Amino acid sequence: GVMILVYPIGVFCLYAAILFKNRRALYRGGHHHRLQQVSSEAQALQARRRSLQEPASTAASAAAAPMLVSRADVLDGLPGPIVKLLVEPYKLSCWYFELVELARKVLVVGVPSFFPSGSNAQLIVTALITFLSFGIFMQINPYHTHSDDVLMKLCLIQIFVTVIASLGLQSRDDDNVNALSIFLTVWLVLTPCAAPFLHLLSEMDVSVASKMVSTVRASSKRLRMSGALKVAAVEDGVEAEPPAQA
């Protein structure tokens, strides 16, 4: 009976106390890292613009760019290994998300236990908690690696579909029960197999889209610059006739 209160309440309070005690260092590290990322992106954009106009200044602008503080440096600067263990799986801006994840687990497991086992109310409450959790993960994307975000979303979708199908399995229609049983079997097998393919497609889409956008922007800037130079040369009379040979 004591352990029932230790895990859902004691562990959550312990994690919250550790993170709250070190909140200033966590916020300062995450804020500093975000500022450095924004500064680095701004310097890279300025260097790219200068390279289109003054190619010789590219090396100087790249050398003048500030060094980005790495994620490992920020994590190593945290006070204590326990804090690093709680924060490391997530983005530095989502250092608090271990509490959200722990609360989600407690709600999914604990709240439905107050309803009769196998009842519609228990399944509906589980589906609502899973749906809200999926919305939070879709909005925030808290994990540091994209593959972890994709895997968590697939797991939540799998739980949600399984719970909804469980409502259908409670019907007395044998045809519906057999069809749902086959669907759940195929769903549970295909969902883990789809995770690496979805991750690969998302990475390919991001890389291809970024390359296409950068290529289109660079080509459009070159066209505008060449057109402006030609117009300026014609207006200033630079394109004069060659001198006659003696």
Q: Domain ranges in the chain?
A: 1-42+63-95, 97-202
Task: Tell me which amino acid residue 130 is.
Answer: T
pTM of the predicted model as reported, rounded to 2 decimal places = 0.64
Per-residue pLDDT of 106-164, as tens digits, reads 999 888 888 888 888 899 999 999 999 999 999 999 998 888 888 899 889 989 988 88
β partners of residue 90: 143
pLDDT reported for residue 158: 86
